């Protein structure tokens, strides 16, 4: 009788074990077929109770004040004729989607954040992400519920920018740390510490006049160009809420 019970128990355990293996196999197949979108949407639901709150009072207020001052200065000098030639248009409230940061990878090479808004909300690859203070990055991938953002601090990020005081275009390159590098292909460029940097009126990826940062230090050792470290106005490591700009250029 005891032997019969053992055989019955073993059969029950074998069946349960098979179901566990089948469930794991099915989960891996779904992740493979969806190219990670299934995993991101699953993460969306399990992380929902831990999403950030609405208030980061001191940081948000300080960065928004800086953003308004820089925008005011840039808008006064904006070249309307150039913007018409490039077919750039003003953004309205309908162009923005508010989103929460539900995951972030800000270490070394992988510099990205994941937002709780995806294709169901109208988010598309290439949309621009703005935080309190200025530019954060661009959407590189979307699932139904989420979107992934490549930060401007990522080595994969290269953007045309504008130094307003000297009216010069440059290239902003992410280095994998908190201070992207500004490259000016002119040894004579009179760039100084404290100069404001914004998106370029000639950029094909961004609208003009989005605040980005301030020149922190300058390297003049290279013969053919100048480089500078940029202190960003929007810090992706502390920002929990962002705006997705749906504007198409």
Same domain, 43 and 135: no
Domain that holds residue 234: 56-249
The 10s digit of each residue's pLDDT in 16-27 is 666 777 777 777
Count of domains observed in the chain:
2
Q: Is the pTM of this model over 0.85?
A: no
Q: Is residue 122's pLDDT more than 80?
A: yes
Same domain, 25 and 66: no
Token pair, residue 134, equals 């200025």
Which of 15, 31, 50 finishes a domain? 50
Same domain, 72 and 18: no
Same domain, 206 and 170: yes
Which of 17, 32, 50 finishes a domain? 50
The 10s digit of each residue's pLDDT in 4-16 is 455 455 555 556 6
d(CA 158, CA 144): 27
Same domain, 74 and 38: no
pLDDT category, 2, cuts 50, 70, 90?
Answer: very low
Same domain, 21 and 116: no
Same domain, 8 and 93: no
Same domain, 169 and 46: no
Same domain, 78 and 10: no
Same domain, 156 and 172: yes
Q: Is residue 224's pLDDT more than 60?
A: yes
Same domain, 198 and 166: yes
* Burial zone of 38 (CB within 10 Å; 0-12 exposed, 13-18 middle, 19+ buried): middle
Same domain, 6 and 123: no
Task: Give ∠ CA 64-183-88 in degrees, rounded to 5.
Answer: 55
Strand partners, 245: 96, 128
d(CA 28, CA 105): 23
- Residue with the bigger pLDDT between 189 and 47: it is 189
């Amino acid at each position: 009788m005891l032997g019969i019970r053992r055989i019955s128990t073993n059969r029950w355990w074998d069946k349960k074990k098979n179901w566990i293996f089948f469930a794991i196999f099915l989960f891996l197949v779904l992740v493979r077929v969806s190219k990670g979108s299934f995993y991101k949407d699953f993460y969306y639901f399990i992380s929902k109770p831990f999403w950030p709150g609405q208030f980061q009072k001191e940081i948000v207020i300080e960065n928004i004040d800086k953003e308004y001052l820089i925008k005011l200065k840039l808008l006064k000098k904006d070249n309307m004729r150039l913007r018409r030639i490039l077919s750039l248009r003003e953004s309205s409230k309908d162009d923005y989607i508010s989103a929460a940061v539900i995951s972030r990878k800000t270490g070394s090479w992988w510099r990205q954040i994941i937002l709780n808004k995806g294709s169901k909300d109208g988010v598309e690859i290439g949309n621009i992400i703005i935080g309190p203070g200025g530019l954060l990055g661009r959407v590189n991938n979307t699932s139904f519920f989420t979107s992934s953002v490549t930060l401007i601090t990522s080595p994969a990020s290269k953007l045309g920018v504008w130094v307003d005081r000297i009216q010069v275009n440059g290239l902003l390159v992410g280095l994998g740390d908190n201070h992207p590098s500004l490259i000016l292909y002119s040894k004579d460029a009179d760039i100084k510490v404290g100069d404001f940097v914004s998106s370029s009126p000639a950029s094909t990826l961004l609208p003009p006049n989005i605040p980005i940062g301030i020149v922190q230090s300058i390297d003049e050792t290279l013969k053919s160009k100048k480089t500078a470290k940029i202190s960003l106005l929007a810090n992706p490591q502390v920002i929990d809420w962002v705006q997705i700009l749906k504007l198409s250029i």
